[in-house]
Amino acid sequence: MQRGRLSPLGMTVLAADGLLLRGTLAYPSRGDAPYPLAVLAHQYPATRDSFAPLIAELHELGVATLAFDERGHGESIQSPSGPRVIDTPNGFGLPAFGAAFMSSIARLEFRRIADDIIRVAGWGAVQNFIDPGRLGLVGASVGGSGAVLAAPSVPGLAALATVGAAGAPAFGDDGPARCRTALEGISAPAFLASSQDDPFEGGANVTKWSAGLAHVTARLVPGDAHAMAIYFDVRDELVAFLRAHLARA
């Protein structure tokens, strides 16, 4: 493939349970390949398009992006047994949201999201215009917890960032504890951001998971907005973090 002005490349990865995961690998408009790569795992219930503002920022930094639809979301709904689609809230407010999320955890096996991220990152790392030694994981909400759990299994990890990482119990009753252990087990710098009063434990996760870890930067903003709803509150710090640790100097 020609280096320089590259076109977005569609991605299809087979998950461990046969579900097809689909996404897009997109490139900066500059000719200095191989590129660092950021793999983006979105929140529930959203799609890879929710990262559009960050993707634009990363391309400006010369970082390629691989954003994918998580299991049951967007285009990632085809399985050997037919379509598998998340439940979405049937009503307004947190109770309806929580009920739909819990139902989706069971039916879509959200515990597999961390493994899905590893498989997607592995696909991206072997593309001949990607630098496999400069990989970043970025996740929001349940995608953030998944990115944390995936991080120790990603060779070449240069940076890990989360926005409102939550839903860790979706990965098992020990999910929150395993997230802390995962952060203890990596040497790559990490940036964990959330609102202070995130109703899905995002703020509490940032505090517990970062405590005493010199390589983890914690950022709490006022309010109770969740995940990508705080993106523009932390954008400058997040982009600066990714520039420092993922983008080519």
Locus of tokens 């996404």: 23
Among 30-39, 77-86, 164-173, 192-201, the range scoring the smallest mean pLDDT is 30-39
CA separation for the pair 226, 232 (Å, rounded): 12
Per-residue pLDDT tens digits for 20-30: 999 999 988 77
CA separation for the pair 213, 190 (Å, rounded): 10
Q: Is residue 164 part of a domain?
A: yes
Per-residue pLDDT tens digits for 42-94: 999 999 999 999 999 999 999 999 999 999 999 999 999 999 999 999 999 99
Report CA dihedral (194, 197, 203, 208) to the nearest 10 degrees.
170
pLDDT over 70 percentage in the chain: 97
The gap from C-alpha 162 to its chain's centroid, in whole angstroms, comes to: 7
CATH of the domain at 185: 3.40.50.1820
CA separation for the pair 144, 121 (Å, rounded): 14
Say if strands 35-41 and 130-140 run parallel, antiparallel, or are unpaired.
Answer: parallel
Q: Is residue 71 part of a domain?
A: yes
Residue 247 pLDDT > 60: yes
Q: Is residue 94 part of a domain?
A: no
What pLDDT is recorded for position 7?
Answer: 65
Q: Is residue 3 part of a domain?
A: no
> Are the beta carbons of 168 and 143 closer than 8 angstroms?
no
**Which residues form the domain of 174?**
9-77+111-245
How many Å is the Cα radius of gyration of the chain?
A: 17
Q: Is residue 29 part of a domain?
A: yes
Q: Is residue 202 part of a domain?
A: yes
Q: Which residue has the higher pLDDT, 54 or 5?
A: 54
Average pLDDT over residues 159-184: 98
Locus of tokens 């517990």: 208
CA separation for the pair 145, 36 (Å, rounded): 22
Bridge partner residues of 5 (DSSP): 29
Q: Is residue 206 part of a domain?
A: yes
> Are the beta carbons of 221 and 230 closer than 8 angstroms?
yes
CA separation for the pair 46, 24 (Å, rounded): 15
Q: Is residue 233 part of a domain?
A: yes
User: What tokens appear for 229 in the block?
Assistant: 């709803």
First vs last Cα of the chain: how many Å apart?
Answer: 24
Locus of tokens 């903003």: 221
Question: What does pLDDT average to over the chain?
Answer: 95
What pLDDT is recorded for position 4?
Answer: 41
Could you give the number of structural domains in the chain?
1
Residue 3 pLDDT > 70: no
| Burial profile 43-62: b = 16 or more Cβ within 10 angstroms, e = fewer | bbbbbbebbeebbebbbeeb
> Are the beta carbons of 178 and 146 closer than 8 angstroms?
no
Residue 234 pLDDT grade (very low, low, confident, very high; cuts 50, 70, 90): very high
pLDDT over 90 percentage in the chain: 93
> Are the beta carbons of 161 and 138 closer than 8 angstroms?
yes
